[in-house]
Structure 1
Amino acid sequence: MKVQRNQKILRILRQNLYQSLSLFQYSRRAVALVWDTSRNLTIILASLTLVAGLLPAASAYAGKLIIDGVVLATQSGMMSDLWRTLGYLGLEAIVVELLAISKQGLSVCQSLLRALLGQKVSVMILEKALSLELIQFEDSELYDKMSQARRGASTRPLSLVRRTFELIQDLLSLMTYSFLLLQFSLWTVVVLLVASIPAFVAETRFAGEAFRLFCWRTPESREQGYLESLIVRESSLKEVKLYQLGSLLLERHRSIFERIYHEDRNLTLSREFWSYLMDMLGSIAFYAIYVWIVVEAIAGRISLGDMTMYVMVFSRGKSTFSGFLSSIGDMYEDNLYLSNLYDFLEQNTATSSGQAVKGLIPGDGLRFESVWFTYPGTSQPALKNVSLHLKPGEKLAIVGENGSGKTTLINLLTRLYVPDKGRVLLDGLDLQEWDREILSQRIGVIFQNFVQYQFTVGENIGVGDANHLNDEPRWRKSAEKGMALSFIEKIPENFHAQLGRLFKRGRELSLGQWQKIALSRAFMRENADILVLDEPTASMDAEAEFHIFKHFHQVTENRMAILISHRFSTVRIANRIAVLEAGELVEQGTHTQLLEIGGRYARLFSLQAEGYN
């Protein structure tokens, strides 16, 4: 039984040691990252680190020579001894100046690298975010990983590299200090090493505890940020004031802070208490050695210069070794945080490698073949066995109650989602086999929750085709198709007017005007043969919506179009209407045909018509 218990303890110790050492794998990656950021600065940083590591011992030895020279010159009264001592003094001044230059150089290199590396890591995170699928962003755990990666990720790689170099610097200093101390006694070196270990153990333990708190509280920090945005953003401030939500939101914000502060306070108090206790043990060891050196000097077994050098070297050695171990502890902490960064950067990305630029059956149009889709974390499918065929030039309207699967169907069509079962085909070829860029150029979309970019009017339209973002003639043509040109021409500066209140001289539009801007955006892709309007006119009155859809029907004469609207009076202009209910396609046909059937569509149409009576 005792042997089994000992084996279990050893196994746990080995596992803990392996886990701790495995975290230092990110040191190599951090160095490579800094090297890729700026090779020249990294080389300079490494060189200055080496210089800064060797000079302190040289300074201490020069101090010994000065003191012994002063004693000798005083006793001999010879000018040669005086000049030799002054030479030692000049040598120490040079060493001190070189040390100051190297430290200043290290500071400059670190500042420059910090700025460059911060940008590089931020871009890496953003590029990774762009490579992820939309469905992954609907997972709260991914947001936590991204938040953890972003917080401190721009400084942690440089911090890790800086501490790695400091480790080398301290190691070089310790080697030179140990060489000098060994001339006095081996035990001074032993005490120097042992006295610094307790502080290292305490620092490492609390570093891990701080990291665990950081990870656990990420959702709470994100909630704090959300509550702050509700109070300061113009889009939500109206309701906050109108419904008098300010006190409630502040109280929630304060409650989260107090919970986090309570954890931080306890950690800080424990950390500082144990750090002080460990430092005190180190100080006791230092003064014990100090007494020993003084006694040896009084007994005449070492010179006054030797005493000064040994005391200085032991004092600096203690600080350096403490710094050496502290650097290891800090590197451990940096590695923990970098594990978050690389955990996010190594998230699985889209595996589709489609390269097709044309379909197998040109002119076949768009097909949904027995498509099923279920959101992660849910058991109820959002779409169930949906089959549709949209021919070139045909207009399809999709109707259904909220949650019936309309927007999910659009997300599958635009390849933002991938079906769980079934296929979505364009010109006879599965969307997953199409080249993403070619496919996106064939589809123009205005989503229900379109983005109101804080850009100029023209850029707000131009984002519909990033390849022609600044194409002014195309802005005008798209705005005309989207029925936005008439009000744009009345705005001072026209297409170059700044929109939104985030920047100076920005102007705000009505929601209906914003929707026309977004509608114009969908027409920027002139080669798009599929246009999708997902509730594009929800903020317009019925008459305005009718005119827009009628106009839309005219300007998309030769294109496939999918319209989603809650107003049945407008969708009747479509060639065909599909009715979704709880993710299933329950009916499809023309407006007249569906009314004759007397099913779901007819009942919903009648209910809405009664509302206008």
Structure 2
Amino acid sequence: MLGKLFDRRWRHLPRLFISLWQVSPGLGSIILVVRLLCALQPPLVIFVGKLIVDEIVELNRLSLPGSGLSDWLGNGRLTPLLAYIGLEFLLTLGNTVLMRATALAEALLGERHGNAMAVLVIEHGVSMDLAQIESSDFQNRMQRAVAQTAMGTPLLAQLLGQAQNIVTVIALAVGLIAFIPGLMVLLLVALIPALVGEAHFNAQRYGVSRDFTPLRREAEYMRFTGADPRIAKEIKLFDLGGFFARRFGELAGEIHRANRAIAIRHSAWSSLLGGVASIAYYAAYALVAWRAVIGQISLGDLVFLTGSLLRLSGLFERTMLGFVELADRSYYLDDFYSFLDTQPSIRRASNPHAMPSAMRDGITFENVGFRYPGREAWAIRHLSFHLTAGRTLALVGENGAGKTTIVKLLTRLHDPDEGRILLDGVDIRAFDLAAYRDRIGTVFQDFARYNLTAATNIAAGRITSVAERARIEDAAQKSLADRLIAALPAGYEQRLGNGYMRGHDLSGGEWQRIAIARAYFRDADILILDEPTAALDARAEADVFERFRNLSTGRTALLISHRFSTVRMADHILVLEQGRIVEEGSHRALIDKNGRYAELFQLQAAAYQ
């Protein structure tokens, strides 16, 4: 049991120490020095107490110098006793000051370290690939990692507390061994069962915590969704509040019952094993008392030994069980660092090909096939087409035809399982991933709505240029978002969304114009528009695409839309069904062909008649 407990869990402790030290070497040094001083205080106080008692016994043997305090002080006999008392006072006062100092230093270091770890989790999380981010297993692991971002503070305090206790135990043990060596063995043997018991139950608690992560995620989803203002209308109108509350109660109850069962067993066994430790302690206490009765040790020695025993009893238990708790925390530490050690599934080029300064030929899909992880069916298969540089290609098809999958492959959110995608004749996997994506601007159907200022929402397209206000305003003008921003109370500095006080929420169409402005601000070589005007009315859509037509001259664009009024502006159109191309050509050519495209066009046109 113990070997299994103290195995690989400890391998992450050096990484934790290094990260804590890197956050603030100054605070780390203060904490180490103060902890060492605090560790030496208990044995020194007990030893000084022994000296006080021995001095009092010695004074009682001497003849009285007089009846008053002044006689004793004038005689000088109280000088050693007063010195010992003063020394004990200084040790006690100094320990109080030092403990306050280390608590302050550890709190400051813990907060800074927690913030640094949270940044690491965010940066690492977004560096993962879309397939990983969208998997439930990854979400479970990320939630556990996020929960541990603040674990540095308690773990640091516990580790240093353990080190402090060990130094104190060694100092006290030296004194005990000098008088009665067998006492140490008695205490150790008595506390081993408690150590094994705590190890067992800590492992069980971690197992429940890990196994119930999906249930906790669902419970948190139910709790926050039930109070989410973004969907409050549906919750009220569909009377879903009771459903979310009941489901949260069911999930929370199931988790509680599992934890309660372990807690009850743990309490029962801890009481039993604690009783064994108490019996051992009082047996040792009786042995010390007997040695004093028969005159083998002095009264001062008795005070020192009983004080050491009392302190050691608590220290032994706290230290040995503390190691078990550290191992327990190390399980969670393993969650944190194992998450940080997760590598992206998309292969990065070890010796990347240089990106062309400007695209000349275009994008080519060669016999591309792709299946989403965990699915048997192919999303697309044997797909081949060419997007000519400087031209606009539109993708048409019903839901599930593979349009958005093509976008994900083109942006390398996924890599194809078959075939390859070329940019100017070079496999896009040969380029540096960041450099390749830097040349692409996108407007997704489910675009992000950031609770940030209007200016930052637009600048998110290329956040390194957030200070370039002229470019931000130009992008807003191109997307026709400038007028709605001008109407906001604080203009470009207005925080959007209703997640914060004084935030200003926008309609779906207004948010979509912000998202389009974001793509214009990115100023990329390849522009991908996935249902970019789905939330706009017909007039607004016409305005946006008239502007796009004028601004996209010479720009390579991929367009996805269910609206044929939008699609018809493309230079070339692909009609997709079940991941395959069934027709392609210009709008006029496809209408004349009177095939699937013409059928879909007529169906949509009829809806407006």
Look up the match of 1:62: 48
Look up the match of 2:99: 103
- 1:53-452 maps to which residues of 2 (within 5 A)? 53-76=39-62, 77=64, 79-155=75-151, 157-349=152-344, 350-353=346-349, 355-359=352-356, 362-452=359-449
Task: Answer yes or no: is the 8 Å Cα contact 1:457–1:496 preserved in 2.
Answer: yes
User: With structure 2 as the length reference, what TM-score do the two structures score?
Assistant: 0.94
RMSD: 2.0
Distance in 1 between the 2:198 and 2:5 partners?
17
Task: Answer yes or no: is the 8 Å Cα contact 1:134–1:417 preserved in 2.
Answer: yes
The aligned amino acid for 2:288 is: I
Deviation at 1:547, TM superposition (A): 3.5
Deviation at 1:216, TM superposition (A): 0.6
Look up the match of 1:554: 550
Provide closer, same or farther for how the CA distance between residues 103 and 491 of structure 1 changes in structure 2, counting only shifts above 3 A: closer
Provide closer, same or farther for how the CA distance between residues 26 and 492 of structure 1 changes in structure 2, counting only shifts above 3 A: closer
Provide closer, same or farther for how the CA distance between residues 359 and 430 of structure 1 changes in structure 2, counting only shifts above 3 A: farther
Task: Answer yes or no: is the 8 Å Cα contact 1:69–1:81 preserved in 2.
Answer: no
Measured against aligned partners, the alpha-carbon deviations of 1:542-581 in whole angstroms (never above 9, x if no partner) come to 3432332233112111111111111123211211111111
What SS does the corresponding residue of 1:23 show, helix, strand or coil? helix
Task: Answer yes or no: is the 8 Å Cα contact 1:361–1:429 preserved in 2.
Answer: no
What SS does the corresponding residue of 1:24 show, helix, strand or coil? helix
Measured against aligned partners, the alpha-carbon deviations of 1:111-162 in whole angstroms (never above 9, x if no partner) come to 111111101211111121122111211211011111111113321x444443
Distance in 2 between the 1:462 and 1:274 partners?
60
The aligned amino acid for 1:388 is: F
Measured against aligned partners, the alpha-carbon deviations of 1:480-512 in whole angstroms (never above 9, x if no partner) come to 211222333333332222211122322121111
Measured against aligned partners, the alpha-carbon deviations of 1:436-467 in whole angstroms (never above 9, x if no partner) come to 44433422211000011112222221211223
User: With structure 1 as the length reference, what TM-score do the two structures score?
Assistant: 0.93
Deviation at 1:610, TM superposition (A): 2.4
Distance in 2 between the 1:45 and 1:490 partners?
54
Provide closer, same or farther for how the CA distance between residues 605 and 507 of structure 1 changes in structure 2, counting only shifts above 3 A: same
2:591 corresponds to 1:603: no
Aligned length in residues: 597
The aligned amino acid for 1:98 is: G
The aligned amino acid for 1:62 is: V
Deviation at 1:80, TM superposition (A): 4.4
The aligned amino acid for 2:463 is: A
What SS does the corresponding residue of 2:324 show, helix, strand or coil? helix
Provide closer, same or farther for how the CA distance between residues 490 and 84 of structure 1 changes in structure 2, counting only shifts above 3 A: closer
Distance in 2 between the 1:357 and 1:553 partners?
31
Measured against aligned partners, the alpha-carbon deviations of 1:56-114 in whole angstroms (never above 9, x if no partner) come to 11111111111111121122136444222222112222222232233222212211111
What SS does the corresponding residue of 2:542 show, helix, strand or coil? helix
The aligned amino acid for 2:260 is: R
Provide closer, same or farther for how the CA distance between residues 564 and 362 of structure 1 changes in structure 2, counting only shifts above 3 A: closer
The aligned amino acid for 1:289 is: A
The aligned amino acid for 2:571 is: N
Task: Answer yes or no: is the 8 Å Cα contact 2:359–2:389 preserved in 1.
Answer: no
Task: Find 1:458's aligned residue among 451, 455, 458.
Answer: 455
Measured against aligned partners, the alpha-carbon deviations of 1:251-308 in whole angstroms (never above 9, x if no partner) come to 0001011111111222222222222222222112222222222233233332222212
Task: Find 1:502's aligned residue among 484, 499, 502.
Answer: 499
Task: Find 2:482's aligned residue among 451, 471, 485.
Answer: 485
The aligned amino acid for 2:41 is: L
Task: Answer yes or no: is the 8 Å Cα contact 1:23–1:332 preserved in 2.
Answer: yes
Distance in 2 between the 1:416 and 1:180 partners?
66
The aligned amino acid for 2:569 is: I
Distance in 2 between the 1:386 and 1:241 partners?
46
Look up the match of 1:8: none
Look up the match of 2:532: 536
Post-superposition, which runs of at least 4 consecutive aligned residues in structure 1 deviate over 6 A? none
2:513 corresponds to 1:516: yes
The aligned amino acid for 1:510 is: S
Distance in 1 between the 2:97 and 2:567 partners?
76
Measured against aligned partners, the alpha-carbon deviations of 1:213-263 in whole angstroms (never above 9, x if no partner) come to 110111111111211221222211111111000000000001011111111
Identity of aligned residues (%): 34
Distance in 1 between the 2:166 and 2:428 partners?
58
Provide closer, same or farther for how the CA distance between residues 269 and 444 of structure 1 changes in structure 2, counting only shifts above 3 A: same
Distance in 2 between the 1:167 and 1:459 partners?
47
